[in-house]
Structures are given as C-alpha cells and as structure tokens.
Amino acid sequence: ALISMRQLLDHAAEHGYGVPAFNVNNLEQMRAIMEAADETDSPVIVQASAGARKYAGAPFLRHLILAAVEEFPHIPVVMHQDHGTSPAVCQRSIQLGFSSVMMDGSLGEDGKTPMDYDYNVDVTRRTVEMAHACGVSVEGELGCLGSLETGMAGEEDGIGAEGKLDHDQLLTDPEEAADFVKATGVDALAIAIGTSHGAYKFTKPPTGDTLSIQRIKEIHARIPETHLVMHGSSSVPQEWLAVINEFGGAIPETYGVPVEEIVEGIKHGVRKVNVDTDLRLASTGAVRRFLAENPAEFDPRKFLKASTAAMKAICKARYEAFGTAGNA
C-alpha cells in the first residue's frame, strides 16, 4: 500500500532503523527494489528526481510505482519526489499522487544557486502548508551538500550547488536546524555533513574531517524528535568499480560513504538514506560484464536481467545493514 513518509519514518524512529530511499528511473530499478524488499520484508521509499521525470516522464514513473504497489500489496511504499526546486514543482507532484515531496530550498529554482535562510524557510513553510492539507509529507534541506575538502558540490549536472561553497554551508548548524524545523513544520530534515551526489565524493576513504557523523550526533541531540535524512549516501562499492574498469570502463579512484558510518548515523536519528549512484554503478558493471562475456547475445532482456540482479543485491544489503529488514 502507498503510505506517507511521516508514517514510515515515525515507525522507523520508534524501532530504531533507517530506510534507504532509492531513486527510480526505469522498470529494472523498480523491480530490483521491490524484489529485494519482498525477500527481506522491508518497507520501501522510492524517489523520482527531476532528471527521472525528464528521462521517463512523470506519468510513466507514477504508474511504475503504482504497478509496484499492485504487484506487492503487502509492502508499504512511499512515493517520494526528490529535490523539488519550488512549491509549484511540489504541488504538481502532489496532484500526481506522490505521498511525499522534498522541497529543497537550500538551492534556488535552478537547483544550483545556494539561497539564504529566509528564502528556504519561506518556500518550505508554504510547501508544508499545501502538502499537509493533502496528507502528504515534506522533507526540507538545511545546508548545502558538498565536499569539506574542496568546498565543491560534486555532480556536474543534476542537483547540486554551482561554484565554491562556504565552510559553514557544508555543515548544518544544530541551532539553525532547530529553528528551521520549528518555523517550517517539516516531517524530515536533510542535513549537510560532507557528502555530495554522484560517484566522486571523496578522493580517499573519508575520515571524521571529511565526513562528519559527529555533526549528526550534535543535530540529533538538539532536535531528537526530527527525522534526519542523509543525501549523497552511496557507498561507491570498490568491487563494482573494479568490474566496470575490467570490462572497458574508465572510472578513476574514488570513495563513497561507508555503510558502517551510515549505520552509526542511524543510531543518532538518521531515518532516510538516499542512494542512487550505487545502483547506477552496479547496473553498469553488470551490463558491461554480461556483454563482454556474451558477445553473441543481443536480447536486451538478457543484459537487463543481469542489471536487475546486481541492483537487487545492493538493495538487499542496504535493507539488512540499515535494519529496515523485517519491518514491512
């Protein structure tokens, strides 16, 4: 059944687990997520980005998620809009039937320009008023995703600040977070702790200086009732980088957010963990390997099946590590 994010995250907080929120663009991802959830008895958050809507079209994405609900009626599913850039964008998703929306007022309507605190409060509060009237949950974001080493946001295209960010934008301030939640009434709060979108998060395995789990603890201590959200939480599996590069890819050395650091965050109020890049890497590695090893194959279902299996294994591992398993 389709449920709101608030319902799911309240349950997660009560029982001390986190929920991976996987981005979805196509059938294979949707199937991987649902089969993994089914086999681990996990509740699901699937999220659609602006890029996904551009790729697949909003009606296709919507029906893909509704098809998942129909095929797996025993699994609770949150249909979430990722990184909305204005109240109007969120309103359209609410009209389409999304049960949760993110109003990312940390950036402007272009999804690139860092905005000030008052703008963020204004657009987020307006979105909450509209969404709550429809029983839809809202995720807000305070602080900008980006590298504590370089001050850069990472991703070249898609959602992410353009240009260099100030150090104080890269770590969410606990006092400001308390004020923001009170002023806006958000159901969940995305925070900045040194992660960024995409595969290029850290040039070496992160330390406390580049990934601040400490900051999560400080924010959670200040607002223990607020459900915290980690963006840019792919772990960038070294084994999939190796497969991609073995079969013709060229991805330079790079590191993600270790699963055990996310698990530490979940002990301190993190309830939603956004993962997109890991499924992309697994899918690409599996397809490259399949086609290299089966050069005479030309039925896309064959290599897409390999893609689905690889993504499903990542989903299962996250459901198990985050404690989501057994909570459907």
Interface ranges with ligand 13P (CB under 6 A): 23, 82-83, 197-198, 231-234, 274-277
Which of Zn ion, ligand G3H, Na ion, none does residue 276 bind to, with CB < 5 to 8 Å depending on kind?
ligand G3H
84: annotated binding-site residue? no
Please choose, from the candidates 249, 256, 243, the residue with its C-alpha nearest in 3D space to the C-alpha of residue 310. 243
- Going by C-beta distance under 8 Å and a sequence separation of 6 or more, which residues neighbour residue 22? 29, 33, 44, 45, 46, 47, 275, 276, 279, 315
The two three-digit tokens of residue 225, written as one number: 């009732």
**CA pair distance 264, 214, nearest whole angstrom:** 10
DSSP class per residue in 72-140: -TTS-EEEEEEEE-SHHHHHHHHHHT-SEEEE-TTB-TTS-SB--HHHHHHHHHHHHHHHHTTT-EEEE
Residue 223 or 229 with smaller CB distance to ligand G3H = 229
The two three-digit tokens of residue 31, written as one number: 């199937």
Three-state secondary-structure class, residue 44: strand
Q: Among 8, 102, 165, 243, indicate the residue that binds Na ion (CB under 5 A).
A: 102
- Minimum separation from the CB atom of position 237 to ligand G3H (A): 16
- Minimum separation from the CB atom of position 74 to ligand 13P (A): 27
Q: Are 222 and 263 in contact (CB under 8 A)?
A: no
- Is 82 designated active site? yes
Q: Are 222 and 178 in contact (CB under 8 A)?
A: yes
Which span sits near Na ion by CB under 5 A: 54-62, 78-86, 129-137, 312-320?
78-86
- Minimum separation from the CB atom of position 271 to ligand 13P (A): 14
* Total residues binding Na ion (CB under 5 A): 2
Binding footprint of ligand G3H on the chain (CB under 6 A): 23, 49-52, 82-83, 158-159, 197, 276
Shortest-Cβ-distance residue relative to Zn ion: 231
Shortest-Cβ-distance residue relative to ligand G3H: 51
- Minimum separation from the CB atom of position 230 to ligand 13P (A): 8
Looking at 10, 38, 41, 82, which residue is catalytic?
82
Which span sits near Na ion by CB under 5 A: 97-105, 150-158, 252-260, 279-287?
97-105
Which of Zn ion, ligand G3H, ligand 13P, none does residue 158 bind to, with CB < 5 to 8 Å depending on kind?
ligand G3H
151: annotated binding-site residue? no
Please choose, from the candidates 206, 211, 228, the residue with its C-alpha nearest in 3D space to the C-alpha of residue 219. 228
Residue 51 or 258 with smaller CB distance to ligand G3H = 51
- Minimum separation from the CB atom of position 60 to Na ion (A): 20
**CA pair distance 44, 49, nearest whole angstrom:** 16
- Going by C-beta distance under 8 Å and a sequence separation of 6 or more, which residues neighbour residue 271? 9, 12, 13, 17, 18, 19, 188, 227, 228, 229
Which span sits near Zn ion by CB under 5 A: 20-28, 210-218, 224-232, 305-313?
224-232
At position 242, the amino acid (one-letter code) is A
At position 112, the amino acid (one-letter code) is K
Please choose, from the candidates 319, 182, 186, the residue with its C-alpha nearest in 3D space to the C-alpha of residue 262. 319
Residue numbers annotated as active site? 82
Annotated binding site for Zn(2+): 83, 104, 141, 197, 231
Annotated binding site for dihydroxyacetone phosphate: 198, 232-234, 274-277
